[in-house]
Structure formats: C-alpha cells, structure tokens
Amino acid sequence: MLSMPCSAKVLVGKDDMRDYRGARVKRTTVTAIECVSADGRFLNPMIIWPASTHRSNWTTYPTPGWQYACSESGYTDSKISLEWLKRIFDPETKERANGKPRVLISDGFATHETLEVLEFCFENNITLCRLPSHTSHKLQPCDVAVFAPLKSAYRDEVDRLERAGTNTIGKEHFTSLYSHARERAFTKKNILAGWAKCGLGPFDPDRVLKDIPKPPAELTIPKVDEVKPRSYLQDDIPQTPVTPVSAEALMSLHNFIIQRHALDETSKRNLARHLQKLAKAGQTSFAKSVLQQHQIRFLIKMNDESKVRRPTKSDILGKAKVMSYEDLKEARTKRAEKEAAKEAKGKGKRGRKPKNSPLEANDASGDKENHGRKRRSTEADAPEPKAKKARMIESPEPWKVPVARMLPSGEEE
C-alpha cells in the first residue's frame, strides 16, 4: 500500500530568493495497492479514491488494466482487499503459476486476513504469508527498494507540472503523474534489489540480521574525544555535470585552432584566453538550448494530456465499490452518447413548427373566396346570453330589509 507522497514544508523569509515553493492549502490522500514478484515483474495497481463515487475527469489519462476503488477514508478495507485478489492478483499470476501454489507476502494490515480473503486464497491455492508487525521497512521489498524512488519520481513529476503553470494539482492529475513515476521506479533492477536486501530472494535471513545493530553487552558512555562527527549531505562535493556533445565538439575545435597556428608565446596565451571565453560561452548556450528543448517537449506533452481533461465534466460514472479502467471508459462513452442524443432531441424540438390550432384548421377548410382570411364573428354567430330573472327573498327576521338575488334562467325557486 502506498499513500500519495507529499513534500516537506520549508519556512523562509519573504526576501529569500531561493527556489522554495510553499506548502499547499489542502492535500488529499490517494492509496495505490502495488505488488512485485521475485523475478522482477510487477502487477497492475489498484487506485483508491477518497470518495463515494467515480468521477469522469479523474481517469482521462489512459491506464489500461488498472483498477479503481472508492472509500470514504481513501484507504483499503476488507472489500477492496478481496476485490484486489479477484481482479488483479489471481488473474495476472494464475497462468504463470501453471497450477503450482502461489505465495503472497503481505504486511500486517488487518484487512488482508479477513474470512473472505482466507477462503478465496484456500480455494485458489494461494498461500498467504503475513509479515510481523513493524517490520515492513526491513522485510517488504516495496518499502525497501521501490517506494523510495517512486516517491522521488512522483515529486519530480509534480514539480514539473507546477513549473508548466498548473497551480492546483488534484485527482484529475494523479493518474498521469503516477503512471510516469511508476515507469521510472518499477524497474527490474529496483525490484530484484528489494527482494535481495530483504533476504527473501534468494532466501538469506543473515542479510537482514547483519544490518540490525546488536545491543551492547554493557552500557558504555563514550568519551568526548571518541565521538566522531557525522557527515551531512551539505558537506559532500557535488559532481560536475556532463557537458553536451556540441560543447565537446566546440572544445575540439578550440584545441585544433591552437595547434594549427604557429604563434609566439604571448600571442598563443592571448589567443588561448580568448578562445577559452568563446568555448565557455558556447557551452552555456548549448546547455540552455538543451534545457529549453526539454522544457518545450514537456509543455507540449502536458498540453496534449490536458486537452482531453478540459472538456470532460466531473460527472458520476458509477457508484460501484471497484471499477476497472475499461469499465470507466465504457461508462464515459455511454454517458457522452446519451447527452449527445438528448441535446440533438432538444434542438429538434426548438426548430419544429407549431401545429395548427383547431380554429385555424377550420378557417383553412372554409370558403375558398376568403383565401385564408379570418372570419369576423357577427351578432348572429354570437351565442345568446342566458336570461336572468330576479326574485325577492323575504327575510324571516322583521328587522332586515328584503334583498334581491339574480338566478339563471330555467332555475325555479
């Protein structure tokens, strides 16, 4: 299990011109379940979003074979662990095992040993091995040799995206950043080094035990003159960067000019000094050109990747616990087709002419001499109003005056 790596916070003054970037206001934890084998291979990951639904703009970057899950906390649970076994580990290792038992080594997380998980492992000839608590930093190959370069590569991808002009990095950027980071970190060399350093492949328990400091037989306090100062990173001498090929060609030309022309000692020194300045200027120019070309390629790549994400709305694609990338892609396509059909239907209704009313239909089928003119109603055509009559109602109380009330014709008292 791997949580989204984060950067360290650095407090600097407002006048400090060093290249430090501020800490983000809000951070979200995204979990990735990874698995590596002793022969240097790795399986597809399962990404766990801290949400209750799958959104369409989170998976615009193509990641075939990946699985996506949702949980309120963003961490794995018993249901997700079982789905990871069914969807990733079992189908991707069953054919290679060829009927032989498979050993799955996991950390001490409780969700890896539920009753459902144990039943599935027993039915599919999978031997589940659980590492002791608080030993993953020594016994888990991913923690020992894979996750450290993965976090470093992910931070580099985040920094590059920020330099490209992206102010806020959200879930919609995670798949593209994490995919590039995995390509750099999940190499066969790193994976095999992790298994070897853990003493698991080849099996060598002494490889781990010799790195663990043994407790002293007697407690001894060293003297002041016996304490050796530690070496820190800032004391190390940085390595000289590799010069581009074009700069080397320029230096070769510089040496050729000096050897070609026969001059006196004073002229040679002056010429060598001037050519040295020219060579340094050329090296600086070539280095800037290489960096600019690299930055341009990166910006073009980020722009092409974000083009797909910009028109994608943050719509709900599904409420399932776990969905594959193919399922999300199919759901996104169906939703787009449904919205397109709905929009086309709405345009058809807006452009349709209204139907003729019954009155206009009668007018059209009337006398041809009218030529479609409306008929004016005459007094003969108008209906006769109902006649009304008045009657007197005597009040039973002697102090009230009789009142008159109008009744429709035909109604008798």
Q: Tell me: the pLDDT tens digits for 230-243? A: 554 444 444 444 44
pLDDT at position 161 is: 85
Q: CA nearest 139: which of 181, 108, 102?
A: 108
pLDDT at position 45 is: 95
Q: Which two tokens stand for residue 329?
A: 């892609």
d(CA 400, CA 392): 13
pLDDT at position 107 is: 82
pLDDT at position 134 is: 85
d(CA 75, CA 204): 33
pLDDT at position 146 is: 94
Q: CA nearest 408: which of 384, 391, 387?
A: 387
CA 143-239-151 angle, to 5 degrees, is 20
- Residue 263, Cβ neighbours under 10 Å: how many? 12
Report how far Cα 410 is from the mean position of its chain's Cα atoms: 81
Please identify every stretch of the chain with a pLDDT value under 70, giving residue numbers as ranges: 1-26, 216-264, 348-413
pLDDT at position 313 is: 77
HEC string of the chain equals: CEECCCCCCCCCCCCCCCCCCCCCCCCCCCEEECCECCCCCECCCEEEEECCCEEHHHCCCCCCCCEEEEECCCCCCHHHHHHHHHHHHHHHHHHHHCCCCEEEEECCCHHHHCHHHHHHHHHCCEEEEECCCCCHHHHCHHHHHHHHHHHHHHHHHHHHHHHCCCCCCCHHHHHHHHHHHHHHHCCHHHHHHHHHHCCECCECCHHHHCCCCCCCCCCCCCCHHHCCCCCCHHHCCCCCCCCCHHHHHHHHHHHHHHHHCCCCHHHHHHHHHHHHHHHHHHHHHHHHHHHHHHHHHHHHHHHHHHHHHCCCCCCEEECCCEEEHHHHHHHHHHHHHHHHHHHHHHHHHHHCCCCCCHHHHHHHCCCHHHCCCCCCCCCCCCCCCCCEEEEEECCCCCCCCCEEEEEECCCCC
**Which is it for strands 46-50 and 67-71: parallel, antiparallel or unpaired?**
parallel
pTM for the model stands at 0.61
Residues 6 or more apart whose Cβ sits within 8 Å of residue 174: 4, 30, 47, 58
